[in-house]
Amino acid sequence: MREIVLDTETTGFEPDTGDRIVEIGAVELVNHVATGNVYHQYINPERAMPDGAFQVHGLGDDFLKDFPVFRQIGQAFLDFIGDDRLVIHNAAFDMKFLNAELDWMGLPRLPMDRAIDTLAIARSRFPGAPASLDALCRRFGVDNAARTKHGALLDSEILADVYLELIGGRQPTMSLVSQGSGRRTEDGPWKPTPRPRPLSPRLTEAEAASHAAFVDGLGPDALWRRTR
């Protein structure tokens, strides 16, 4: 099972008023394990704040002006996420901006039902408690010391750890309790395979002889003789 944990940084809060995405970060999980495969892109928003010095999350006009605009990287982003589920904190916000950018490119929108909203999960699990990413890091002991400024890739990496805690621990597939229809691999239901090298016997010769003598004493109709 492949999932994409992602985050965006934007110039503001509303694409309808001209705000744009300036950064996308995404982390690939396969069977709830980070693979090391990531997507990270700074984006020229093609706009500036009224004072001409666009500043957001430590990024400014001078830094962003040489990066591609969204229409130049949109297809590469879609290729990375494929058709897999998207794990996003406050999914409605990021999906609103991503779909606005895709609309402007004439590409299909991302359906909301593809998004797993970790904010909604946190509010459901801990009603009334703070549910920001920083608050969840404190709750679960996730190290966010490097998060002095928002950054899409760093936030995605942190969110991946938080997400795994929210759904039951950082190694949920290690559970020995069957969940749903059972364990699965990328190729389908998990099936046991023969051990490549049999375990060496732990029964000593003396113990084997003692057991044989015990069975002999039970007579010819002993259960041990019928099941061997």
Of 32, 40, 150, 211, the active-site residue reads 150
Which residues, other chains included, contact 15 with Cβ-Cβ below 8 Å and sequence gap of 6+? 96, 97, 100, 101
Most distant CA atoms of the chain, gap in Å? 100
Closest CA to 126 of 115, 116, 140: 140
Q: How confident is the model at residue 217 (pLDDT cuts 50, 70, 90)?
A: confident
150 is catalytic: yes
Q: Model's pTM, two decimal places?
A: 0.71
What mean pLDDT is reported for the chain?
83
Whether 53 has a pLDDT exceeding 90, the answer reads no
Residue 218 main-chain phi, psi, to 5 deg: -85, -10
pLDDT per residue as tens digits for the range 159-195: 999 999 999 866 544 443 334 444 444 555 555 666 6
Whether 213 has a pLDDT exceeding 60, the answer reads yes
Superfamily of domain 2-189: Ribonuclease H-like superfamily/Ribonuclease H (3.30.420.10)
